[in-house]
Structure 1
Amino acid sequence: MFVLPVRVYYEDTDAGGVVYHGQYLNFMERARTEWLRALGFAQSVLRQNEHIVFVMHSMQIQFKKPARLDDELNIVTQLTEMRRGSFSCQQQVMRDGLVLLEAQVKVACVNADSFKPTGIPARIKIALESS
C-alpha cells in the first residue's frame, strides 16, 4: 500500500469550495506516479531507457463524500492484480480515515513509440507485487 498526502487548494475546487470531480483523477495520477517513483521507477526514465510508458486503460469510480478547500487528504494506492502487460489497483481518497472516493484502476504498459501493448519488465512487476 502506498499513501500520498495531498492538500486541497483553491484551484482544485469549484465555486462552492468542493473539489471538482475531475481533480480527483489528477490526485490519483500523482499517487500512482509517486508510487512508481518510490519503488525506483521514474516514468521519464522508463520512457527513455526502457521505451515503455504506463497508460490508463480503464477506471471505475464511486464518489462517496465531498472533499473541500483546505482538506488534508490521503490518496491510497494498492495493487490488486498483476498481468503480463497491465496491472490493476484500488485507489481511495481519504480524509481522517473516511473514504471519500474509491476507484478501481487498470493501467496498461505500452511501447513508448508505437503505443502498442507490451509486457511489464520483470523487475517492475516484482517491485509492484512486493510493495
Structure 2
Amino acid sequence: MTVMCDDQPKGGRFEAGEHRFAVRVYFEDTDLSGVVYHANYLRYMERARSDMLRVAGIDQRAAHEAGEGAYAVTDIAIRYAAPARLDDDLLVTSRLVELSPVRVVIHQTVRCGTVKLTDAKVTVAWVGPNGRPRRQPADWITIYQRLVWQGDTERP
C-alpha cells in the first residue's frame, strides 16, 4: 500500500504521447567542476520512467509486493551532448518506442530549455521473483499499446 503525505511532489504529465517530467539540479548532483555528474542523468531518467508508469496507471509496487516481479534495465545506450549546472531546470521527456510481451523500450531526452543535454534508449524487461524474464501483466500491455510512439523519434 502506498502511503500518501499531505504535501505531494509535483509529478509529470503526458502531452501528445510523450511523458514530461521536470527536474531541478541541486548541489549534490554536481561534481567538482560544477556540472552534473554523468551518472545523475541516469537517475533523472529513472525517476521520469517510474513517474511515467505511475501516471499511466501501472502500479509497480503492488506488483512487486504481490510477488509478480519487477522491471530490470537490460540495455541502455546514452549520448551526452552538453552539461547541466547547479540550479538548472531540466525537462526529461520519455516516449515508449517498442513493446513486446516481456520488454519495453523507452527513448528519453534531458533538456535545459531548448538545449538537448543527453538522450538515451533504455530497454527494461519484466522479470519474475526468480530473476528470469516473464510476460508483463496483460492489463499493462494494453496500457502500453496506447502509449507506443507512432511518430518519428530521435534515437541514440
Same fold (TM over 0.5): yes
Deviation at 1:31, TM superposition (A): 0.5
| Runs of 4+ with deviation above 2 angstroms | none
TM-score (norm 2): 0.80
For structure 2, list consecutive stretches of 5 or more residues without a partner in the other structure: 1-17, 148-156
1:88 aligned to 2:105? yes
Shift of 1:128: 2.1
What is the CA–CA distance in structure 2 between the aligned matches of 1:17 and 1:129, rounded to whole Å? 41
Query: Greater shift after overlay, 50-59 or 65-74?
Result: 50-59
1:76, 1:92 within 8 Å by CA — same for their partners in 2?
A: yes
Match of 2:64? 47
How many percent of aligned residue pairs carry the same amino acid?
Answer: 35
CA shift at 1:17, angstroms?
1.3
| RMSD of aligned Cα (Å) | 1.1
Deviations 1:43-70 (A, max 9, x none): 2112023612001000000100101110
Q: Which fold has the larger relative contact order, with Cα–Cα distance below 8 Å and residues 6 or more apart in sequence?
A: 1
Task: Structure 1: state its 5+ residue gaps.
Answer: none
Q: Give 1:45's aligned amino acid.
A: A
CA distance in 1, matches of 2:140, 2:79: 29
How far the C-alpha of 1:22 sits from its partner, in A, is: 0.5
Equivalence for 2:19:
2
Number of corresponding residues: 130
Q: Which has the higher strand share?
A: 1
